[in-house]
């Protein structure tokens, strides 16, 4: 009788162990592939940095006062696209290569005063393309919901920026071409997100982060006006929010 009780218990224990292993394997299906590819899109929120600094000078023998404009004043929230891939160094760590596209439309900005007239500026749109490399670390590897944190370093290629200055009451229109020249900038970013593995190969994610881009290359079209320094502090911080899809292979 003792044997007949023990044998079913052993069988039940083996079945339970198999089910447990199968369940864990299913939960870890997102880590079963060494390579992954991701595509994400979202919003790029400027949080600091000046598209132009303040200064006092002269143009056409008229006194000019330039007021500081932050990136968020001129560009606000723009498009942020990201695509790339990763290689699993372990169940919890990935090495990653990512391409990033930022695109922001410019609004008409109040620049200051030109003599007795208000001075306005229309900037060209902000466009940048970046290449980032870094590491991602997952907080849990045995569930389908996997929080993560990542850090990246890279370079960004920023298109040149022009600005058109207009003083309506003084009947002035001035094109300042190449206000910033085309620039190769250094980038630094940190992100936190959550990955949900919806199947063996496919997952969806959302993340928020901070991204720093060094200043653009200024072009001194304003030499001799006293306004030369208004474009020499253009480094910026942004807070991108993304959602996207991930595939393992």
Domain containing residue 225: CATH number: 2.40.160.20
8-24 pLDDT, tens digit per residue, is 444 444 444 444 433 44
Q: Tell me, what's the pLDDT at 233?
A: 87
Q: What is the mean pLDDT of residues 230-247?
A: 94
Q: Tell me, what's the pLDDT at 225?
A: 84
Q: Is residue 128 part of a domain?
A: yes
Q: Is residue 27 part of a domain?
A: no
Query: With b meaning 16 or more CB within 10 Å and e meaning fewer, what string describes 135-157?
Result: ebebeeeeebebebebebebebe
164-190 pLDDT, tens digit per residue, is 999 999 999 988 878 899 999 999 999
Q: Is residue 244 part of a domain?
A: yes
Q: Is residue 6 part of a domain?
A: no
| 5 to 2, 9, 11: CA distances (angstroms) | 5, 7, 10
Look up the domain containing 84 and give its range.
Answer: 32-52+70-111+122-165+180-248
DSSP conformation class of 114: E
Q: Is residue 126 part of a domain?
A: yes
**How many domains does the chain divide into?**
1
DSSP conformation class of 215: P
List, in sequence order, every beta strand (DSSP E) within 68-201. Answer: 69-70, 77-88, 93-104, 108-114, 117-123, 126-138, 145-158, 161-167, 172-181, 183-197
């Amino acid at each position: 009788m003792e044997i007949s009780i023990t044998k079913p218990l052993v069988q039940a224990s083996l079945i339970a162990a198999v089910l447990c292993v199968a369940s864990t394997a299913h939960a870890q299906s997102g880590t079963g592939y060494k390579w992954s590819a991701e595509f994400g899109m979202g919003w790029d929120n400027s949080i600091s940095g000046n598209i132009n600094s303040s200064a006092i000078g002269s143009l056409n023998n008229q006194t000019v006062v330039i007021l500081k404009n932050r990136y968020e004043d001129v560009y606000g929230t723009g498009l942020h696209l990201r695509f790339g891939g990763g290689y699993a160094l372990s169940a919890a760590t990935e090495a990653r290569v990512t391409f990033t596209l930022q695109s922001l439309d410019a609004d008409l900005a109040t620049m200051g005063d030109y003599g007795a007239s208000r001075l306005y500026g229309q900037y060209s749109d902000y466009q940048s393309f970046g290449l980032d490399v870094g590491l991602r670390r997952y907080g849990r590897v045995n569930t389908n919901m996997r929080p993560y944190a990542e850090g990246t370093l890279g370079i960004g290629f920023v298109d040149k920026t022009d600005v058109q200055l207009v003083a309506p009451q003084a009947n002035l229109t001035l094109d300042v071409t190449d206000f910033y020249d085309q620039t190769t900038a250094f980038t630094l970013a940190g992100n936190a997100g959550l990955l949900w593995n919806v199947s063996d190969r496919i997952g969806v994610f959302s993340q928020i982060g901070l991204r720093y881009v060094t200043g653009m290359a200024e072009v001194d079209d304003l030499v001799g006006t006293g306004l030369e320094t208004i474009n020499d502090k253009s480094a910026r911080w942004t807070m991108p929010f993304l959602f996207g899809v991930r595939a393992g292979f």
